[in-house]
Structure 1
Amino acid sequence: MATKFPPGPVDWTFGLSFMQNLKYRLMETYEGLHRDYGDRVCCRIGPFQFFLFFHPDDVREVLVAHSKTILRDPRPLKVFAQWNGNSLLIAEGEDWVRQRRLVQPAFQSRRFAGYVEKMAIEVDELKRSLASDIAHRGYADVNIDQTMTTLTLDIICQTLFSTDMKSQAREIARAVATLSEIAFFEMQALFIWPRWLPTKWNRRKNEAMQILDRVVWDLIHQRRKENIDKGDLLSMLLSAVDEEGDGGSLTDEQVRNEAMTLMLAGHDTSAAALDWLWMLLAKHPHVCDRCRSELQTVCGDRAPVYADLSMLTYLNAVVKESLRLYPPAIGVFLRKATEDVTIAGYSVPKGSLIALSSLVTQRDARWFPDPMQFDPERFLPPRVDSIPHNAWFPFGAGPRICIGQSFAMAEMMLITARLLQHFRVSMVPGQAEPVPVVTAALRPKDPLWLRFELKSPDSRDSK
């Protein structure tokens, strides 16, 4: 028998103060509610209930067991639909099922060797740039967020379009950053201004959209004329056929929507995740040493390729542990009940909002002892067997799990492996402890400067 609602704070402002806290102090608000009220919390926003579930069992209930009746909150989707159209990120129901079938082949493992080759081109270019700077000064101090944002944008352009877009990189990066900033604030707003209104906000949004639309449409039209499979994501989208359904394919408009989604989502969260990964490596040189030892065992002196990644088990654990501590997309698991449901014995009425927080669940000492300690061995046998299912979900879970999960893991592992083979990394002297802030992704609030130095063949970072 379901009880009424879980415990929660009394808000005499009818949810206005709670909404302000979510807008400006999302991490602290979620962590505080979990600390004060436990795994299941209910808050009120006007006439509606807002439920927060932090237990791994509840993550499964929301994202897996009730995936057909607890759908994504439509308000954030309206924000993204402005520039992504009805893409896989936005679609629901039968539209989503069909589009998933059409897009899924682009992310099959047999395609990944080619993608990783394209990733390696961009990583090696960064490697040469760092080596050149080090040759002049003895070290290279880099703003890691700028560096990883540029790198992941170059990678997505190579893997999506097989195109070197460095001549347009600054313009594209500015446009993507503008849309990410606007998306975050519009998701918190009470309403979204119509795009035709001549506001400063809309002018910025429309200018950014025009830049990205021009890039994507030019490439689609060019590729249609060439009619060549270049082994990239765009080729897969253009040639996709729904063999299990109506036998149809994606229209050019749908290809544009999916390409735009991959361009926007395919580098922003990856760059944020890499920021934190490099920060953790800079602070834990013994972890870098062990990664290099594993790389030497698996690869010898050659650069790692896709076939090596499955054998780099410690590096895989390092990436997973970084994503545990700093999941880049901590605010995306927002759902809405389309009918009355029961979760963890509590009644969740139709129309209620439901939130999950990977950051809170993944920092829970019950599932991850000494949770703030960076300890990659959590994800190695035998300890990994004690982690509850759905206690780690930076990519989501269930039918709507991120389609690019394997792509993102391969990208993070390849970048880390190729750079660690050649460089030591440390915090720049005087660099303050980075403070996480939630925007479109979880990022350092202020510039994070890291120092790269050449790795001598017989030295160890931890000496």
Structure 2
Amino acid sequence: MAFLDALLHVSSTGTLICFLLLLLVAYLLFLRSQSDENEPPGPKPLPLLGNLLMLDVNKPHLSLCEMAKQFGPVFKVYFGPKKVVVLAGYKAVKQALVNYAEAFGDREIMPLFHDFTKGHGIIFANGESWREMRRFALTNLRDFGMGKKKIEEKIIEETCHLREEFEKFEGKPFETAQLMNYAASSVISSIVYGRRFEYTDPQLRTMVDRANESVRLSGSASVQLYNMFPFLGPLLKNWRQLMKNLHLDIEEISELVNGLHQTLNHQDLRGFVDSFLVRKQYAEDSGEKDSHFHEQNLIYTVGNLFVAGTDTTSTTLRWSLLLMAKYPHIQDRVQEEIDQVIGGRQPVSEDRKNLPYTDAVIHETQRLANIVPMSIPHMTSSDITFNGYFIKKGTCIFPLLTSVLWDEDEWETPHIFNPNHFLDEQGRFVKRDAFMPFSAGRRICLGESLARMELFLFFTSLLQYFRFTPPPGVSEDELELTPAVGFTLNPIAHKLCAVKRL
């Protein structure tokens, strides 16, 4: 119904004519596509609409999981006129992204993704530019402390600021979203820009709020419609708002980068931007031809790092606190373990190995929350025969991470919050191969080590100091775990009480 509603909003004589012409072209292409031999199975599509009427456009990952039960781990589905091959279940996703990493390693640049970065940056890029930017980002993020003691100190400093903010509510109900976002964004800002932002800084607030809105709108039904029929863009309110946000993002990042450029000291680099500016200057001075170290790649790479470093971490932390309030007996066990192992001192990364239950709860939160359910679409870089099916070069691929994290063949209780998924009979932490919240292969999240450290330090520090409960008059059963609609799956708006522990 959301798809039909979106369609009605953009109807007019001109668009109806366009739709009729597009319908004819799509039907002819559809007839031609039937001649492809040995393609993956899938539901029969309608001309133009494809299989849209079979999908819940607000929760397409769940619709695709149901289709996988009928068509198997590799199947095709049409999002409008666009054919997509879906990979479902741990075995198929792992085999494609890891064993055939090169063939399945390109990024599908959907119209909205192209609007966002024009092929620059890291997340929505391919080819040599992507390889150069990812390599440079990984090297420099590590140089500035990602996964090391240096960044641990910055995260610990941030946990102290976050606890102080929680204390200000004096145990009364509050929304956790903004504070979690400010904390995560301050950590990534300290790496990218070389400094953290105060939570009261209006620049931080506008950047974070705008990023959150863009992530939410990117998953809306009308924007999905735009990805299928790009000519509709100017007629769609959500697309227009996204383009406005993008313009403001570029202005904001450019202003911050220019400020750093004016105070750049080659002997004392403060963060990722400084390193990029030095490398860019070297390329210009040496007459390096076709260098990928130019202003557009800098702006869009910084934007990628800021959004990715804020949204997924803060969203996972919000889920973790919501789950603790909903399941107080699990919160009890986490706090008992923290009290026994750490006591009143500040938690550090080294404590993880001595906190198996706490670590299991964090992992189980990531598994059940499933915040990037369809990953970011991939694209085949060459023709390939996979699982007995022929898949052409340039085919859009959805690695359905939901089907991995909730795989009934891999998890004992896939739809239930169960930290025992990550514990053996002696209560020791165990790794699980089907744990893929960061995806896998060539496109695995480059900030995984940073995110893992943040999740552990923020979660243990907050649980050490506070007891999380529903607001007065709300029972644990009334806390809702159905996610909000968006590109990533956030908890719906809710309030919790952070009661200081004695």
- Tell me the TM-score normalised to structure 2 length: 0.77
Is residue 434 of structure 1 aligned with residue 481 of structure 2?
yes
Q: Which residue of 1 aligns with 2:179?
A: 147
* 1:364 pairs with one of 403, 407, 429: 407
Select 1:168's aligned residue among 186, 194, 203.
203
CA positional deviation for 1:81? 4.0
Which of 35, 38, 58 lines up with 2:92 in the alignment? 58
Aligned position for 2:7: none
* Deviation for aligned residue 1:312: 4.0
What secondary structure sits across from 1:437 in the alignment? coil
- Is the partner of 2:484 in helix, strand or coil? strand
Q: Which moved more, 1:214-223 or 1:378-387?
A: 378-387
1:450 CA drift (Å):
1.7
17 and 346 in structure 1: CA distance in 2 versus 1, 3 angstrom threshold:
closer
CA contact (8 A) 1:425 1:453 kept: yes
Greater displacement, 397-406 / 16-25: 16-25
Q: Deviations over 1:158-210 (max 9, x none)?
A: 34321325232332233213332443343542233599x69855653444234
Letter in 1 for 2:70: D
Q: 1:208 aligns with which of 225, 245, 255?
A: 245
Residue 196 of structure 2 aligns to a residue in which SS? coil
1:287 to 330, 347, 362: 330
SS state of the match for residue 414, structure 1? helix
- Distance in 1, matches of 2:279 and 2:410, equals 41
Secondary structure of the residue aligned to 1:31 is helix
Q: Is the 8 A contact 2:65 2:88 kept in 1?
A: no
**1:66-215 matched pairs, under 5 angstroms:** 66-72=100-106, 74-76=108-110, 78-85=111-118, 86-108=120-142, 110-111=145-146, 112-134=148-170, 139-161=171-193, 162-164=195-197, 166-185=201-220, 186-189=223-226, 190-192=228-230, 204-215=241-252
Q: Secondary structure at the match of 1:204?
A: helix
Q: Residue 442 of structure 1: SS of its match in structure 2?
A: coil
Q: Distance in 1 between matches of 2:441 and 2:225?
A: 26
What are the superposed Cα offsets for residues 83-140 of structure 1, whole Å, 9 maximum, x if unpaired?
4450011222222222222111233285433323323333322211222321xxxx22
**Relative to structure 1, is the Cα distance of residues 311 and 107 closer, same or farther in structure 2, using a 3 angstrom cutoff?**
farther
Counterparts of 2:358 and 2:437, CA distance in 1:
17
Over 3 Å counting, the alpha-carbon distance change for 1:294 and 1:239 in structure 2 is farther
**Quick check: 1:283–1:426 contact (8 Å CA) kept in 2?**
yes
Distance 1:249 1:38 in 2: 41
Note the alpha carbon deviations across 1:394-438, whole angstroms, 9 max, x for none.
Answer: 111011111011111111111111111110012234344231234
Q: Is it true that 1:225 corresponds to 2:262 in the alignment? A: yes
d(CA) in 1 for partners of 2:231, 2:209: 22
Q: Does structure 1 conserve the Cα–Cα contact (< 8 Å) formed by 2:320 and 2:362?
A: yes
Deviation digits for residues 325-345 of structure 1 (CA, Å, limit 9, x no counterpart): 112111334233344322222
Structural RMSD (CA) = 3.3
Distance 2:89 2:249 in 1: 40
Distance 1:377 1:452 in 2: 26
The amino acid of 1:192's aligned partner reads P
Q: 1:13 to 1:215 in 2, by over 3 A?
A: closer
Show the counterpart of 2:343: 300
Aligned to 1:455: 501
Aligned to 1:460: none
**8 Å contact kept, 1:107–1:403:** no
Distance in 2 between the 1:374 and 1:270 partners?
A: 19
Q: CA deviation at 1:439?
A: 0.8
Q: Which amino acid aligns with 1:224?
A: H
CA contact (8 A) 2:359 2:429 kept: no
1:133 counterpart SS class: coil
Shift of 1:231: 4.8
SS at structure 2 position matched to 1:79: helix
Unaligned runs of 5+ residues in structure 2 are 1-36
| 2:268 is the counterpart of 1:234 | no
2-side partners of 1:270 and 1:401: how far apart?
15
2:23 counterpart residue number: none
Q: TM-score, normalised by structure 1?
A: 0.83
Amino acid at match of 1:119: I
Identify unmatched segments of 5+ residues in structure 1.
457-463
Measure the CA separation in 2 of the matches of 1:223 and 1:239. Answer: 11
Deviates more, 1:395-404 or 1:54-63: 54-63
CA distance in 1 between counterparts of 2:364 and 2:44 reads 36
Equivalenced residue count is: 443
Distance 1:95 1:29 in 2: 35
CA contact (8 A) 2:324 2:331 kept: yes
1 CA distance for matches of 2:44 and 2:495? 42
State the SS of the aligned residue for 2:173: strand
Distance 1:82 1:48 in 2: 18
Q: Decide which of 361, 384, 390 is 1:318's aligned counterpart.
A: 361
| Cα distance, 1:143 vs structure 2 | 1.7
Using the alignment, how far apart are the partners of 1:438 and 1:277 within structure 2?
19
Between 1:358-367 and 1:177-186, the stretch displaced more is 177-186
